[in-house]
Amino acid sequence: MRTQVAIIGSGPAGLMLGRLLSRAGIDNVIVERQSADHVLSRIRAGVLEQGSVELIEQAGIGERMRQEGIVHHGTVLAFDGDSHRFDFTDLVGRSVMVYGQTEVTRDLMRARNTDGAPSVYDAAHVAIHDIDGARPRVTYIRDGQTHEIACDFVAGCDGFHGAARASIPADAIRTFERAYPFGWLGILVDRPPVADELIYAHHARGFALCSMRSPTRSRYYVQCAIDEKVEAWSDERFWDELRRRLPPAAADALQTGPSIEKSIAPLRSFVAEPMRFGRLFLAGDAAHIVPPTGAKGLNLALGDVRYLAGALIAHYRDGSDAGLDGYSAKALARVWKAERFSWWMTTLLHTFPDMGPFERRMQRAEFDNLVSSRAAAMAMAESYAGPPY
């Protein structure tokens, strides 16, 4: 098989890149090691920056998002029961949209089917070859046979554990990582959200988050030890712990019910740079991971793809490689801003094993500064809602 761009990974980054390239008349093939059903079964965050909403609209897949997405003009931060709402519209003139990553993926899959662009699922042993030359190749095994895709460029959108980053020689890439000493225990429940907007709460017992997927489905999290087991957390234990950590009004308004999904996720900050090696370009989780505290993971992936699609389109339409040559630096500038914000939110809102009285008072001082300083609140709001592109 021959194509212009081979895309590894059928998550939202790979699918969005494919959509943007197809609309520009650029041939592309997506190769995914999992099944389509498995990809759609992944439950992920769903807070979209305004720039991500705009990109989804530009890609022509915004109809269902407009109908079902929930616009948030602010969010609530709480510290030991004291809470404050930050109005993004007032502070920076921007908003965010609650619309699940699974739904973004579903919309992109449907659009790809409509486009008639090829996707290969259940592709085993995906490997990338000759990325430092003029004719890269992608091979995979499906139905017991080895297949090969010849291409001009490879886009690695296959996640943290994928083949793309692993294809880059170790001496050609540098990684930066911070593993946090706790995780998030999250549950999904068919009950109305406790509030109209997200609530991020710091408590001496640990962090808590009240989020949502729709007006009738809620997503809640509590900080837990990294070695906790899901089986040790009954629904009753979770609800009791969540109530303890929330501001009183939110705790009183909480509607509980049987969980329909329960899991524990570790928290990690990770960046690999550069995001290009030869004719291979990394995007999304293949290049960077953020703790979910700042809701940046999906938004960063879509930001990467926005830059990469523009660079590839300029290459084929205009014969200009300036965008390709500058892709890594341009993407990493935004990545590191998001990494800083996610690290800052995580540091502010969580309890750490080695934390003493001084560190807790510093957290309180940081919260009080956000509440009392419009400049500090504006900086937080711009980072959360996403700076303009």
Instruction: Confirm whether 72 is a catalytic residue.
Output: yes
Task: Output the CA angle 269-277-119, nearest 5 degrees.
Answer: 85
355-367: string of b/e by CB count within 10 Å (b at 16+)? eeeeebeebeebb
Q: What is the pTM of this model?
A: 0.95
Instruction: Confirm whether 296 is a catalytic residue.
Output: yes
- What's the confidence (pLDDT) of residue 388? 86
Ordered by start, the domain boundaries in the chain are 5-45+101-177+268-346
Q: What are phi and psi for residue 98, nearest 5 degrees?
A: -90, 110
- What's the confidence (pLDDT) of residue 105? 95
Range 5-45+101-177+268-346 has CATH code 3.40.640.10: no
Tell me the per-residue pLDDT of 258-267, one tens digit each, with 9 for 90 and over: 999 999 999 9
- What's the confidence (pLDDT) of residue 42? 76
- What's the confidence (pLDDT) of residue 43? 67
Instruction: Confirm whether 327 is a catalytic residue.
Output: no
User: Which one of 72, 202, 288, 315 is the catalytic residue?
Assistant: 72
User: Which one of 203, 292, 315, 350 is the catalytic residue?
Assistant: 292
Structure tokens at 274: 């550069």
Tell me the per-residue pLDDT of 66-102, one tens digit each, with 9 for 90 and over: 999 999 999 999 999 999 999 999 999 999 999 989 9
Where the chain has pLDDT below 50, the residues are none
